[in-house]
């Protein structure tokens, strides 16, 4: 463990981030990196026919399109409804061919930055994305299993947080801090069931030119939790991101996980079959 005196002197990773980095880069870095992995994998899976996918019998009808989903704003969040607005449009532009930005939410305590036009000050968001098959047929458990395996491969280059640290907030803070100092991307945790795949991770990105030898206080750290969920024939991506300012890194990690899991519970409750 790092001595208390040294811990109190730890770097604030985003001390100069708003001054040194273009606002659009700061705002959308998490999504750029996220969708390079997530939606490239999804697109590849969608464009390669597989025997596991449901196919109509000869002379039969193709599967019906899945019913629309109810996607309410979560508690303490504000929905960005301006589909042609800058924030929504720039998020949507990060997507792949068959991906769509369905909802974009900001925490209530940051929404005023958006209303005031201070987009550079936004550090947290929750986004909901959907993907579709070429024939708009419903997805099944085989589809989400395939996407989950592809995404797991995308995290093979990440360091993994020790399982013991996940049960101790102080230990996890030190693991996150050390990964930031070293400039290492870190996979904190995963969760897998037949209907979902969850990935919780921290990204480190140097703000200075050149990736090697950047000082620890010149890196931007971003916590993300990405959930892939199969619900009523849809595959939904629920993505929360939090760019670290001067708060404990642990708080960012916990925030993204809690937000995603709570929204998943709400979405499932709202879209139960009658």
Mean pLDDT, 10 residues at a time, the chain of 274 residues: 39 43 45 49 52 50 78 92 67 67 91 84 90 81 89 89 93 94 94 95 76 60 94 93 87 96 96 74
Q: How many domains does the chain have?
A: 1
* Separation between Cα atoms, residue 46 and residue 50, nearest integer Å: 9
Q: Is residue 107 left, alpha or beta, with left meaning phi > 0 and alpha meaning psi from -120 to 50? A: beta
Structural domain includes residue 8: no
Query: What is the sign, positive or negative, of the torsion defined by CA atoms of 180, 229, 268, 271?
Result: positive
Structural domain includes residue 13: no
- With the CA atoms of 226, 73, 69 and 189 taken in that order, what torsion angle do they form, in degrees rounded to the nearest 10? 20
Reported as half-sphere exposure (CB side, CA atoms, 13 A), residue 137 has a value of 14
pLDDT of residue 12: 45
Number of H helices, E strands in the chain: 8, 8
Domain that holds residue 35: 21-49+69-270
Structural domain includes residue 60: no
pLDDT of residue 97: 62
* Separation between Cα atoms, residue 206 and residue 208, nearest integer Å: 6
pTM over 0.85: no
pLDDT of residue 164: 92
- Give the tokens for residue 235: 């595959």
Structural domain includes residue 9: no
């Amino acid at each position: 463990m790092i001595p208390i005196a040294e811990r109190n002197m730890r770097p604030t990773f985003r001390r100069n981030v708003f001054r040194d980095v273009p606002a659009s880069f700061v705002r959308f870095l998490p999504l750029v990196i996220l969708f390079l992995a997530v939606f490239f994998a999804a697109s590849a899976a969608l464009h390669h026919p597989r025997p596991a996918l449901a196919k109509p019998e000869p002379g039969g009808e193709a599967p019906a399109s899945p019913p629309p989903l109810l996607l309410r704003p979560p508690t303490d969040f504000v929905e960005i409804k301006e589909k042609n607005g800058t924030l929504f449009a720039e998020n949507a532009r990060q997507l792949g061919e068959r991906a769509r930005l369905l909802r974009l939410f900001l925490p209530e305590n940051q929404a005023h930055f958006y209303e005031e036009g201070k987009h550079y000050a936004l550090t947290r968001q929750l986004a909901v994305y959907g993907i579709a098959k070429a024939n708009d047929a419903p997805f099944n458990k085989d589809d989400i299993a395939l996407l989950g395996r592809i995404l797991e491969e995308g995290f093979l280059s990440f360091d993994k947080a020790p399982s013991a640290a996940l049960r101790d907030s102080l230990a996890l803070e030190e693991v996150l801090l050390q990964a930031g100092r070293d400039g290492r991307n870190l996979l904190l945790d995963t969760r897998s069931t037949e209907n979902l795949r969850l990935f919780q991770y921290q990204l480190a990105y140097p703000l200075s030119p050149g990736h090697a030898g950047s000082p620890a206080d010149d890196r931007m750290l971003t916590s993300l939790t990405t959930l892939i969920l199969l619900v009523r024939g849809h595959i939904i991506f629920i993505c929360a991101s939090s760019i670290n300012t001067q708060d404990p890194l642990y708080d960012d990690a916990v925030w993204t996980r809690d937000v995603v899991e709570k929204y998943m519970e709400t979405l499932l409750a709202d879209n139960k079959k009658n």
